[in-house]
Amino acid sequence: MFKRRKPRSYGQMASDMFYPRGGWRRAGTYVLHRLRRLPDQPHRIGRGVAAGVFVSFTPLFGLHFASAAAGAWLIGGNILASLLATFVGNPLTFPFIAVLSVSLGRQILGLGGHLSPQLIFGEFAQASVELWHNIRSVFGPEEAHWQNLGNFLYQVYWPYVVGGVIIGLAVSIVAHYLTIPVIRAYHRRREKKMAARIARVRASSIVQVTSVVESSAKGGAAPRPADSPGDIEMKKKGPQ
């Protein structure tokens, strides 16, 4: 019933990951709209957002959703808010996140040097291929090679973890304290609209009751619903 008439191809799905059909601005507006409408307390939504933002700065590619949900659960945050907040990490922001995190991590670890986004993600891709090769070698005649993976962990992955945790922690704290007043303001505005709607309904009900009472006081009959076709037929036949 709710399925697409024409299912999207894998190419369209991949394209939407890098550039949504409505554009990144529309996608970001949708995420903010969904966050404001979450039926939960502002501080829990803020914690969920903090968890999602923090995870976006870690190199746990492919595990961001699961990590964000686990983090939100641990700190008592809203899990759905944490999943929505992982939108902070997207194809437009990942190059900047990667460069900042790896550069800071290498400086802290005393490695020095600057790595470009192409080199960082190229190393991730190569490490994924080699890891899969080594897993297959356990069940086949191929020989495993761990030296390149060890170099990747030391030069790229571990600096990414160190730098990403520091930057992610700072950004997530800011996101938490910015989210709470926004959610509170939205909840107050929604409560005011709901109160105004209830007041209008009550006023309308009072007017209707007043009109009925006034007509009764003047000797008029209170309005009654129109007779159904069955009632009309019974009146024509008369009492049996």
pLDDT exceeds 90 at position 137? no
Can you give the pLDDT at residue 6?
58
**Average pLDDT rounded to a whole number, residues 45-54:** 93
Residues 55/25, Cβ–Cβ less than 8 Å: no
Can you give the pLDDT at residue 27?
55
Place of tokens 């009072």: 206
Using one digit for the tens of pLDDT, what is the confidence trace for 198-239?
Answer: 878 877 777 776 766 666 666 555 555 555 555 555 555 655
What's the whole-model pTM score?
A: 0.68
Q: What is the 3-state secondary structure (H, E, C) of 82-130?
A: HHHHHHHCCCCCHHHHHHHHHHHHHHHCCCCCCCCHHHHHHHHHHHHHH
Can you give the pLDDT at residue 18?
45
**Average pLDDT rounded to a whole number, residues 23-40:** 61
DSSP label at residue 153 = I
Longest dimension (CA), the chain: 105
**Average pLDDT rounded to a whole number, residues 129-138:** 81
- Crossing angle of helices 23-36 and 158-217, in 10° steps, is 60
Radius of gyration of the chain (CA): 31
Backbone φ and ψ of 219, nearest 5°: 95, 0
What residue type is assigned to position 113 of the chain? G
Using one digit for the tens of pLDDT, what is the confidence trace for 67-89?
Answer: 999 999 999 998 888 888 898 88
Can you give the pLDDT at residue 107?
92
pLDDT exceeds 80 at position 15? no
> Which one has a higher pLDDT value, 96 or 235?
96
Give CA–CA dist 165/100, Å, rounded.
Answer: 11
- Exposed e or buried b per residue across 39-72, where buried means at least 16 C-beta atoms within 10 angstroms of its C-beta: ebebbbbbbbbbbbbbbbbbbbeeebeebbbebb
Sign of the CA dihedral running 140, 142, 147, 152: negative
Can you give the pLDDT at residue 205?
75
pLDDT exceeds 50 at position 13? no
* Token couple for 20: 């949504």
* 132 closest CA partner among 141, 121, 150, 145: 145
Can you give the pLDDT at residue 17?
47
Using one digit for the tens of pLDDT, what is the confidence trace for 158-199?
Answer: 999 999 999 999 999 999 999 999 888 887 887 787 778 887
Give CA–CA dist 154/131, Å, rounded.
Answer: 15
Sign of the CA dihedral running 9, 14, 19, 24: positive
Place of tokens 């309005």: 223
**Average pLDDT rounded to a whole number, residues 41-66:** 92
Using one digit for the tens of pLDDT, what is the confidence trace for 112-128?
Answer: 778 888 999 898 888 88
Can you give the pLDDT at residue 236?
56
